[in-house]
């Protein structure tokens, strides 16, 4: 069955008693026992809740894994995964990592004896070279942030198999609609469902899927022990968002490709990072492995002054952190999303003071282009006549 169909069908068969098409929000902390030593399958909502489980089953199905887990945020999901390791263990990690993940690893988990080596995971040779006898896992972002590098999971999973490492894929930017990491050899997927999976900039949520039943038991033990679970209401919102994953992503991508192409032609844009562009170094690999290129674009403007101008002058596109929702958002990674990455690493990665990151929404592409144009050209000589009619 196509993944769009599976997404729409999430939870449909759940309520056999009433036939409710939408899964009910089981807003309850606890469940009555039918008898001594008996359970309905639900005892207490930290351990399991039907609405949350519908989401967990749904994401497991989309990813092709054995079991899904829903957490109160993407960070809570990643934190839970790190509990699979113990003091002395070493992990190899994507270098242009989401800032919050980098902070969690470097500022918190190093205190518990884990160590991390940051490498360019789009370069399999660099990953191979970083493996030590203490290495237990490779944590990759399938498409990185903000510079949109794509990891060759097939090559990486071969390295992981050779050295007995777990391959953990943060697939937030692509979602199972565009990339199914298990098909390429990953062991665990993790999502900030705050982004494309819920898709409406209205929920904070995290998801994990595992492929191996034994590993699933371990992850469940940690989920229940730590308790950073997603509440029924937010589980329901995430399910609702997930149902339209296919149509949203189709539109997101269509818009992104047009905008990236247009940005390339603008005289005040120095560089555009979008894997859908043929000159992007990972374009070909991504074309083979993924069903699309996503809808995140990074671009460099020609002066730092223009950064502030664009952030202040865009009208349709909101200056806000986060991504993956129907509303277009723009941010300045150096200060906003990647401030927790050490400055020298930021400089090496090219996260500089002229780089902007755009999460392309599902508005009309012409309106978005017009908004960017007026923001880029506002205040320049003749700007008045070049300005578009007010966008409505
Ligand atoms: C946002 C994000 C996270 C963190 O998720 P939250 O839901 O904000 O806790 C992790 N990884 C990536 C790639 C992200 O974009």
Shared domain check, 160 and 20: yes
Angstrom CA distances, 352 to 101, 104, 330, 349, stand at 20, 22, 15, 8
Q: Which residue has the tokens 């492929």?
A: 211
Same domain for 53 and 19, yes or no, is yes
Say if 382 falls within a structural domain: no
Encode burial over 289-313: b for 16+ CB neighbours within 10 A, e otherwise. Answer: bbbbbbbbbbbbbeeeebbebbbeb
Range of the domain at 275: 245-377
Give catalytic status of residue 243 as yes or no: no
Q: Is residue 387 part of a domain?
A: no
Q: Which of 223, 242, 261 is the last residue of a domain?
A: 242
How many angstroms separate the CA atoms of 248 and 113, rounded? 42
Structural domain total, the chain: 2
Same-domain check for residues 105 and 133: yes
Residue 208 CA to residue 200 CA, distance in Å, equals 20
Is residue 172 lining ligand 1, measured as CB closer than 6 Å?
yes
pTM of the model: 0.94
**Per-residue pLDDT tens listing for the chain (392 residues):** 999 999 999 988 788 889 999 999 999 999 999 999 999 999 999 999 999 999 999 999 999 999 999 999 999 999 999 999 999 999 999 998 888 999 999 999 999 999 999 999 888 899 999 999 999 999 999 999 888 999 999 999 999 999 999 999 999 999 999 999 999 999 999 999 999 999 999 999 999 999 999 999 999 999 999 999 999 999 999 999 999 999 999 999 999 999 999 999 999 999 999 999 999 999 999 999 999 999 999 999 999 999 999 999 999 999 999 999 999 999 999 888 788 778 888 888 889 999 999 999 999 999 999 999 999 998 754 444 343 443 34
Q: How many CB atoms lie within 10 A of CB 99?
A: 20
Query: Which CATH number does the domain housing residue 280 bear?
Result: 3.90.1150.10
Collapsed DSSP state (helix, strand, coil) of residue 91: strand
Does 302 lie in the same domain as 211? no
Ligand 1 atom closest to Cα of residue 76: 9
Q: Which of 77, 96, 99, 172 to mutate to test the pocket of ligand 1 (most atoms within 8 A of CB)?
A: 172
In a domain, 389, yes or no: no
Binding site membership of 181 for ligand 1 (Cβ less than 6 Å): no
What SS3 class is residue 359?
A: strand
The strand pair at 355-359 and 206-210 is best described as unpaired
Q: Are 330 and 311 in contact (CB under 8 A)?
A: yes
* Cα 48 to Cα 315: distance, rounded to the nearest angstrom: 43
- Cα of 190 to ligand 1 centre, how many Å? 9
């Amino acid at each position: 069955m196509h993944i769009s169909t599976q997404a729409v069908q999430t939870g449909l068969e759940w309520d056999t008693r009433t036939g409710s098409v939408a899964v009910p929000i089981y807003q309850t902390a606890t469940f009555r026992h039918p008898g001594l030593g008996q359970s309905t399958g639900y005892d207490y909502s930290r351990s399991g809740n039907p609405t949350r489980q519908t989401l967990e089953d749904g994401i497991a199905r989309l990813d092709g894994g054995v079991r899904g887990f829903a957490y109160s945020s993407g960070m809570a999901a990643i934190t839970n995964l790190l509990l699979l390791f113990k003091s002395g263990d070493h992990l190899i990690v994507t270098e242009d990592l989401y800032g919050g993940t980098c902070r969690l690893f470097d500022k918190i988990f190093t205190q518990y004896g884990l160590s991390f080596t940051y490498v360019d995971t789009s370069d399999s040779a660099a990953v191979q070279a970083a493996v030590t006898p203490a290495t237990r896992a490779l944590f990759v972002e399938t498409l990185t942030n903000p510079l949109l590098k794509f990891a060759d999971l097939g090559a990486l999973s071969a390295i992981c198999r050779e050295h007995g490492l777990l391959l953990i894929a943060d697939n937030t930017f692509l979602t199972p609609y565009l990339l199914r990491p298990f098909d390429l050899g990953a062991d665990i997927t993790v999502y900030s469902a705050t982004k494309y999976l819920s898709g409406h900039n209205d929920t904070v949520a995290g998801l994990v899927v595992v492929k191996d039943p034994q590993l699933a038991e371990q992850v469940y033990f940690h989920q229940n022990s730590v308790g950073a679970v997603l509440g029924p209401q937010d589980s329901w919102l995430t399910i609702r968002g997930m149902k339209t994953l296919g149509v949203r992503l189709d539109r997101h991508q269509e818009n992104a490709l047009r905008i990236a192409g247009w940005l390339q032609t603008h005289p005040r844009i120095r560089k555009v990072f979008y894997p859908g562009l043929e000159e992007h170094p990972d374009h070909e690999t991504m074309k083979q492995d993924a069903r699309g290129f996503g809808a995140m674009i990074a671009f460099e403007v020609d002066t730092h002054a223009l950064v502030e101008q664009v952030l202040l002058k865009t009208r349709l596109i909101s200056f806000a952190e986060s991504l993956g929702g129907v509303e277009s958002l723009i941010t300045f990674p150096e200060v906003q999303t990647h401030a927790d990455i050490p400055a020298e690493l930021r400089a090496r990665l090219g996260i500089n003071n002229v780089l902007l990151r755009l999460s392309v929404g599902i508005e009309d592409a012409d309106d978005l282009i017009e908004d960017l144009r007026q923001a880029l050209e506002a205040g320049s000589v003749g700007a008045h006549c070049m300005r578009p009619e007010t966008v409505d």
